[in-house]
Amino acid sequence: MKRNRSLELFDTARTLIPGGVNSPVRAFGSVGSTPFFVRKASGSRVWDEDGNRYIDYVASWGPMILGHAHPAVARAIAKAAKGGTSYGAPTVAEVEMAARITGAFPSMELVRMVSSGTEAAMSAIRLARGYTGREKILKFEGCYHGHADSLLVKAGSGVATLGIPGSPGVPKGLAELTVTVPFNDLAAAKTAVRKHGKDLACVIVEPCAGNMGLVPPAPGFLEGLREITEAGGIVLIFDEVISGFRLRFGGFQDLAGVRPDLTCLGKIIGGGMPVGAFGGRADIMALLAPAGPVYQAGTLSGNPLAMAAGLATLRVLKNDADYRGLERRTRRLCDGMKALFHRKGIPATVSRRGSMFTVFFTDREVTDLASALRCDTRLFARYFNAMLRHGVSLPPSQFETAFVSFAHGPDDIDRTLEACGKALAEI
């Protein structure tokens, strides 16, 4: 495997961009390596600048559920671009996207488009504060809701990867408004609500956590959060930026049967373009400007290219997607890896939900951030680099989620398991 061109590009990038990358986990620092630079992608594969080809399970961190460069999405983007790339004015596509989202998520009676998941979570929290007149928020350790100041306290994703407990630059006063408890610990959440309830504007949670690795909710956890928030007049926010349209068309909340007050979406609804959205109960959303006093705005919100790509993706998912078939392929992959780890005597567990999975290098079940942090990250790094040498691209962090797309066929699964066997023999 050649890496010369990528190494040269990374050396140059570090003289121009902090750390050489525009998002920290991409630097491959936690796996003791340097990143490959992508030249192109198609279907389930990506190619780097040295001509190496990889089966891709990063999927741009989730949105490429149809695979890379899906023909319907590419055509939609090209067609939209011919009419201009941004207007700063309403379009039909925005109305169509709102109708598609509200139709899929009954809890989202009104929806506002933004340009990223970070904006969606930040705006939903501002709205919850405006609605309740309260200032504090409750979040769960290891859940990542973007890099807004209040949300970096005990966050997952790159924050966990880099071993950062919070972040310099976050004012102490803002951090003090964020209450954190362990994910899946309903008793701790109840205690926090009893202590801070009169000051809590919202509880925000990934209903299926994907930013400390994949950690599904324990039975009764989400139902319990719904109960205590309703009783306390607290807004319940589901961050489905990752899980929205990933596990089923109506998101994880449809799977769980729990209806939040507000929901954050992103990734898949942009078909690979920068996008985000938040929405929920009409009485809460009606407080957003210009209908109400809570201000939120964005020049590129509802960007026509993002709307075109997202609508094309959702049309395919609505009309042609076999979610059960995708889950079966993912289960075969994960079961195969489990068998290989067991055969080699390597302590590892594979967490899976739908088409999302994480290999945790620990012999214990991972249920929260504390148990995720007990994983052998050095062993993960050796595994990651060995898989890469054998043509499989996984997320370069123990604390991220991998994704299987509809473009991954049986041959991809077979090749991945073959690579896994070779990698384990090497580590």
Q: Are the C-beta atoms of residues 333 and 357 closer than 8 Å to each other?
A: yes
Residues 278 and 328 in one domain: no
pLDDT for 275 equals: 97
pLDDT for 336 equals: 98
Residues 155 and 29 in one domain: no
- DSSP annotation string for 276-298: EEEEE-HHHHTTBTTTSSB----
- The domain that holds 25 is classified in CATH as 3.90.1150.10
54 in catalytic set: no
Residues 303 and 341 in one domain: no
Number of domains making up the chain:
3
- Residue 427 forms part of a structural domain: no
Three-state DSSP at 112 gives strand
Buried b vs exposed e over 54-80: b needs ≥16 C-beta within 10 Å? bbbbbbebbbbbbbbbbebbbebbeeb
8-state DSSP, 148 = -
Q: Which of 56, 239, 261, 412 is catalytic?
A: 239
Q: Are the C-beta atoms of residues 47 and 38 closer than 8 Å to each other?
A: yes
Name 325's Cβ contacts closer than 8 Å, sequence gap at least 6: none
- Residue 54 forms part of a structural domain: yes
Beta strands 45-48 and 53-56: pairing type? antiparallel
Long-range contacts formed by 74-81: CB under 8 A, 24+ apart: 75/312, 76/271, 76/308, 76/309, 76/311, 76/312, 77/271, 77/273, 77/305, 77/308, 77/309, 77/312, 79/308, 80/304, 80/305, 80/307, 80/308, 80/309, 81/305
Residues 39 and 97 in one domain: no
Beta strands 262-266 and 349-353: pairing type? unpaired
- Dist. CA 192–CA 136, nearest whole Å: 11
Domain boundary residue, one of 319, 338, 364: 319
- Dist. CA 331–CA 341, nearest whole Å: 15
Predicted TM-score of the model (pTM):
0.95
Q: For 247-303, how does the pLDDT look when each residue is reduced to its tens digit (9 = 90+)?
A: 999 999 999 999 999 999 999 999 999 999 999 999 999 999 999 999 999 999 999
CA distance between the termini of the chain: 18
198 in catalytic set: no
| Dihedral sign of CA atoms 19, 20, 26, 31 in order | negative
Residues 177 and 49 in one domain: no
- Residue 121 forms part of a structural domain: yes
Residues 334 and 262 in one domain: no
- Residue 265 forms part of a structural domain: yes
Residues 14 and 100 in one domain: no
- Residue 167 forms part of a structural domain: yes
Walk across the sheet containing 402-403 and list its strands.
Answer: 349-353, 356-360, 402-403
- The domain that holds 84 is classified in CATH as 3.40.640.10
Domain boundary residue, one of 280, 301, 319: 319
Q: Which of 139, 144, 154, 261 is catalytic?
A: 144
Residues 120 and 147 in one domain: yes
Residue 320, exposed/middle/buried by CB under 10 A (0-12, 13-18, 19+)?
Answer: exposed
Q: Which of 131, 261, 267, 368 is catalytic?
A: 267
A 10 A CB-CB count for 342 gives 11
pLDDT for 169 equals: 74
Q: Are the C-beta atoms of residues 68 and 45 closer than 8 Å to each other?
A: yes
Three-state DSSP at 41 gives strand
267 in catalytic set: yes
Residues 17 and 82 in one domain: no
Beta strands 200-205 and 136-141: pairing type? parallel
Residues 341 and 289 in one domain: no
**Which amino acid makes up residue 241?**
V
Helices (runs of H) and strands (runs of E) counted in the chain: 15, 14
Residues 295 and 345 in one domain: no
CA 229 to the chain's CA centroid: 24
Task: Enumerate residue ranges in the chain where pLDDT < 70.
Answer: 149, 152-167
Nearest to 13 by CA among 36, 46, 47: 36
Q: Are the C-beta atoms of residues 280 and 263 closer than 8 Å to each other?
A: yes
Residue 119, exposed/middle/buried by CB under 10 A (0-12, 13-18, 19+)?
Answer: buried
- Residue 367 forms part of a structural domain: no
Domain boundary residue, one of 58, 80, 100: 58
- Residue 31 forms part of a structural domain: yes
Residue 26, exposed/middle/buried by CB under 10 A (0-12, 13-18, 19+)?
Answer: middle
- Dist. CA 368–CA 365, nearest whole Å: 9
pLDDT for 163 equals: 47
Residues 276 and 330 in one domain: no
Residue-number span of the structural domain to which 270 is assigned:
72-319
- Residue 387 forms part of a structural domain: no
